[in-house]
């Protein structure tokens, strides 16, 4: 791998920094294919269907030696216990604050000051502002240590989600943020929250071979199809690249329809996946056709953290002979979850169907095997280098 290509990777890494907070959420919710904002509430069972549960609550209330947790905590515990009997890691319950963070991540936008929140080696919270966001405009700098929000001290024992929520809210709201700069100086900023759009797609040409385009899909959100269309327009129509590298490494999934829309940019119709629900036959889901990159030579980079929607796209392109996969075997997540928003702001993920690749292969627990399987290297991006070499041969460029 040349120094030029290493510089390409450094550039992409810098661009990725502003998306790491969203990726952290993605990893937390690696449930895979999701369908958001469902209409209608789940059927409520009669209370007398759980007589033993009610009996236990009564006995605990009367006899337990220490004060009981509040009713909400007991209720949430009972819900989690009930779900645990299903033995399905992808059907789970989420508390209200975390549910809102998940909703923000899937929407790809939220009200905030526009920073990545990280911990340093001693556990303190450190800020890295997004380009063009309110935080950087106010004067917050990379590496500033977060001391307080609205006068409330920030301490290492505070959960990441709790601190993150302090820096988010309704667009137009003003908050005070106190930081310590790298030089030790302390400063307080009054910052107005704005709409922060977290990108799900990053793209550039490859420095080592400018005729190749590189597209990284970070997460499948509601904004992903539009962002991908913009990327393909710039790379293919404006910069006239002759080949594409699609990178879905460390992409844990997201929204189902958006994944089908992404595949449709590379497949001229035909089956993207088969979906099987309870008591129904497998139903084909097809590409819409008319994509911007139907014939452009391409490869897909995958790894062990490529899951669900990322596997859907990669599996469809591999099965249909549209692209080869380079990297490591994927995670193996092939089910669809619906998200039910509950009355108190919490949410319930419920597995409602499973999916299969166009060839009928089951992915759940299996994963995708790359056409070119590689051991991950730490000194440089071996998969990207192999993709460049493969495409050079495909398009007839001397190596």
Predicted pLDDT of residue 210: 92
- By the 10 Å C-beta count (0-12 exposed, 13-18 middle, 19+ buried), 331 is classed as buried
The share of the chain scoring above pLDDT 70, in percent, equals 83
Q: Average pLDDT of 45-65? A: 83
Q: What is the pLDDT of residues 204-223, one digit of tens each?
A: 899 889 999 999 998 898 88
Q: Average pLDDT of 298-318? A: 95
Q: Which of 25-34, 105-114, 322-331 has the highest mean pLDDT?
A: 322-331
* Residue 36 scores a pLDDT above 70: no
The span from the CA of 19 to the CA of 349, in Å, is: 24
The answer to pTM > 0.75 is no
Predicted pLDDT of residue 246: 98
Q: Average pLDDT of 73-81? A: 90
CATH number of 3-35+199-394, picked from 3.30.70.141, 1.20.1250.20, 1.10.10.10, 3.90.226.10:
3.90.226.10
* Residue 2 scores a pLDDT above 80: no
pLDDT-derived band at 380, boundaries 50, 70, 90: low
Predicted pLDDT of residue 132: 82
Please tell me which residue in 104, 261, 319, 381 is annotated as part of the active site: 319
Q: Could you confirm whether 222 is annotated as catalytic?
A: no
pLDDT-derived band at 108, boundaries 50, 70, 90: low
Q: Average pLDDT of 51-68? A: 90
* Residue 31 scores a pLDDT above 50: no
The share of the chain scoring above pLDDT 90, in percent, equals 47
Please tell me which residue in 285, 303, 333, 353 is annotated as part of the active site: 333
Lowest mean pLDDT, pick from 298-302, 312-316, 334-338: 334-338
Rama region for 365: left / alpha / beta (φ>0; ψ in -120 to 50; rest): left
Q: Average pLDDT of 291-319? A: 95
Q: Average pLDDT of 32-55? A: 61
Q: Dump the DSSP string for 135-165.
A: HHHHT--TTEEEEEETTEEP-TTS-HHHHHH
Predicted pLDDT of residue 124: 87
Q: Average pLDDT of 352-380? A: 85
Question: Are 174 and 190 spatial neighbours (Cβ–Cβ below 8 Å)?
Answer: yes
- Among residues 110, 343, 363, which one has the least CA distance to residue 221? 110
The sign of the torsion formed by the CA atoms of 64, 67, 72, 73 equals: negative
Predicted pLDDT of residue 243: 97
Question: Are 314 and 306 spatial neighbours (Cβ–Cβ below 8 Å)?
Answer: yes
Q: Could you confirm whether 333 is annotated as catalytic?
A: yes
Predicted pLDDT of residue 15: 39
Q: What is the pLDDT of residues 217-246, one digit of tens each?
A: 988 988 899 999 999 999 999 999 999 999
Domain boundaries, the chain: 3-35+199-394, 47-94, 109-197
What CATH architecture is 109-197? Answer: Roll (2.30)
Tokens of 49: 């269907």
The continuous run of DSSP H or E covering 3 comes out as helix 3-17
Lowest mean pLDDT, pick from 102-106, 261-265, 355-359, 387-391: 102-106
Q: Average pLDDT of 330-356? A: 87
Please tell me which residue in 306, 308, 347, 353 is annotated as part of the active site: 308
Q: Could you confirm whether 308 is annotated as catalytic?
A: yes
């Amino acid at each position: 791998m040349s120094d030029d290509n290493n510089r390409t990777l450094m550039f992409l890494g810098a661009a990725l920094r502003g998306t790491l907070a969203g990726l952290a959420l993605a990893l937390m919710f690696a449930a895979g294919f999701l369908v958001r904002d469902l209409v209608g509430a789940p059927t409520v069972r009669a209370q007398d269907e759980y007589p033993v549960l009610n009996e236990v609550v009564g006995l605990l209330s009367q006899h337990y030696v220490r004060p009981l947790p509040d009713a909400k905590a007991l209720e949430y515990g009972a819900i989690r216990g009930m779900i645990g009997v299903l033995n399905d890691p992808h059907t789970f319950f989420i508390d209200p604050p975390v549910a809102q963070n998940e909703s923000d991540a899937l929407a790809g936008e939220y009200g905030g000051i526009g920073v990545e929140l990280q911990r340093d080696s001693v556990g303190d919270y450190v800020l890295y502002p997004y380009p063009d966001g309110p935080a950087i405009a106010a004067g917050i700098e990379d590496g500033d240590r977060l001391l307080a929000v609205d006068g409330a001290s920030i301490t290492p024992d505070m959960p990441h989600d709790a601190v993150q929520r302090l820096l988010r809210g309704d667009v137009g709201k003003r908050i005070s943020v106190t930081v310590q700069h790298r030089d030790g100086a302390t400063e307080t900023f009054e910052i107005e929250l704005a709409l922060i759009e977290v990108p799900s797609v990053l793209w550039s040409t490859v420095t080592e071979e400018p005729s190749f385009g590189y597209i990284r899909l970070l997460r499948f959100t509601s904004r992903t199809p539009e962002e991908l269309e913009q990327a393909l327009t710039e790379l293919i129509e404006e910069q006239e690249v002759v080949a594409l590298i699609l990178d879905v490494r460390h992409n844990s999934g997201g929204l189902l329809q958006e994944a089908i829309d992404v595949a449709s940019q590379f497949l001229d119709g035909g089956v993207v996946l088969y979906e099987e629900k309870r008591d129904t036959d497998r139903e084909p889901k097809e590409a819409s056709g008319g994509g911007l990159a139907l014939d452009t030579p391409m490869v897909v980079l995958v790894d062990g953290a490529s899951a669900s929607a990322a596997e859907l796209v990669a599996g469809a392109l591999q099965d249909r002979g549209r692209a080869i996969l380079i990297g490591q075997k994927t995670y193996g997540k092939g089910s669809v979850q619906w998200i039910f928003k509950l009355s108190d702001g919490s949410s319930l993920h419920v597995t409602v169907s499973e999916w299969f690749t166009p060839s009928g292969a089951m992915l759940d627990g299996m994963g995708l095997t790359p056409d070119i399987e590689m051991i991950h290297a730490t000194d440089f991006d071996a998969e990207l280098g192999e993709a460049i070499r493969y495409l050079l041969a495909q398009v007839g460029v001397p190596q």
